[in-house]
Amino acid sequence: MIPKDHPRYRSLVARERLARCAREGVVALEGLAAHGRGEAFDYLIGERTSESALLAARTAAAMLLSARHAVISVNGNTAALAAREVAALQQASGADVEVNLFHRTDERIALITRLLEEHGVRVLSGTAERLVPLAHDRGLCLPEGIGDADVVLVPLEDGDRCEALRKMGKAVITVDLNPLSRTARTATLTIVDELTRALPAITAACATLEPGERDRLIASLDNTYLLRAAIDEMRERLVHALE
Ligand code: ATP
Ligand code: MG
């Protein structure tokens, strides 16, 4: 049992859950390393949602609501950390949810689908095809899912796949605590925030955005500005860290 008053309670609970999901095969061992990189950046932004991240989350909501076909792409870490949050976002945005894995096996797809469904997510099923211009199984997706989407939310994505989805002409929204990653820099919109804070922020915005505000947010989207704001936030915290 992790004591509730431990200063790193949330982080310890997340680690425990990821470790359990790794033992069950939902999370790839590589996913544990990726989470650690994320945690380090979360320290630097003060483990809270910055103003620029909130603006990014609101813009993400606007993009999802205005899409012809929005799809949320879920991997093992996302399912382990935020299955309930994905269900709420699906409900609020009307987006489809597709399981899409870097370390893809039929068994992991089935495990993750079941975990998501247990938390109320409706998961697309079908036969994946190699539609994304990437070698091997990383190019697989559903023709009626990501293959057809104009807007894809890919939390915790790898830079290569983000770039490949952009090359297909899709708008890509990502959640990535590292504003320097290739994913963060190649996405159409990057939310520099921890996944379990970012998804509820998008869900909340879906419920409150007026149509006029949606158009305004999309028209003024400037990802370089958002990344710079996140880096400035981290730099400020570093400069004043020992005061
Ligand atoms: P890229 O391929 O985009 O250059 P990378 O190779 O450094 O990035 P990956 O392992 O491909 O990193 O992707 C994992 C990314 O997800 C990391 O940048 C990490 O900061 C981020 N990340 C991990 N866990 C979380 C989380 N819970 N919330 C938000 N971001 C996270
Ligand atoms: Mg990568």
Tell me whether residue 202 is in a domain.
yes
Domain assignment present for residue 104? The answer is: yes
Question: What amino acid occupies position 182?
Answer: R
Q: Is residue 228 part of a domain?
A: yes
What's the pLDDT score for residue 135?
87
Q: What domain range includes position 172?
A: 51-239
The helix or strand, by DSSP H or E, that contains position 98, with its residue range, turns out to be: strand 96-99
Q: Is 223 in the pocket of ligand 1 (CB under 6 A)?
A: no
Task: Establish if 23 belongs to a structural domain.
Answer: no
Inside any domain, residue 39: no
- The CATH number linked to 80 is 3.40.50.12640
CA of 157 to the centre of ligand 2 (A): 7
Separation of 182 CA from ligand 2 center, angstroms? 7
Residue 204 φ/ψ, nearest 5 degrees: -60, -40
> Does the annotation flag 223 for ligand binding?
no
Task: Please indicate, yes or no, if residue 42 is contained in any of the structural domains.
Answer: no
Q: Scanning the structure block, which residue is given the tokens 């005061």?
A: 243
pTM of the model: 0.97
Residue among 22, 139, 123, 7 nearest 80 (CA): 22
Contacts of 238 (CB under 8 A, 6+ apart): 44
Residue keyed to tokens 């981290």: 234
Token pair of 33, please?
A: 């390393």
Q: Is the pLDDT of residue 77 over 90?
A: yes
What is residue 138's predicted lDDT score, i.e. its pLDDT?
Answer: 86
**How many domains does the chain contain in total?**
1
Examine residue 9 and state whether it is found in any structural domain, yes or no. Answer: no
Residue pair 162/18 in contact (Cβ under 8 Å)? The answer is no
158-198 per-position pLDDT tens digit: 899 999 999 999 999 999 999 999 999 999 999 999 999 99
Domain annotation covers residue 70: yes
Residue 2 has pLDDT above 90, yes or no: no
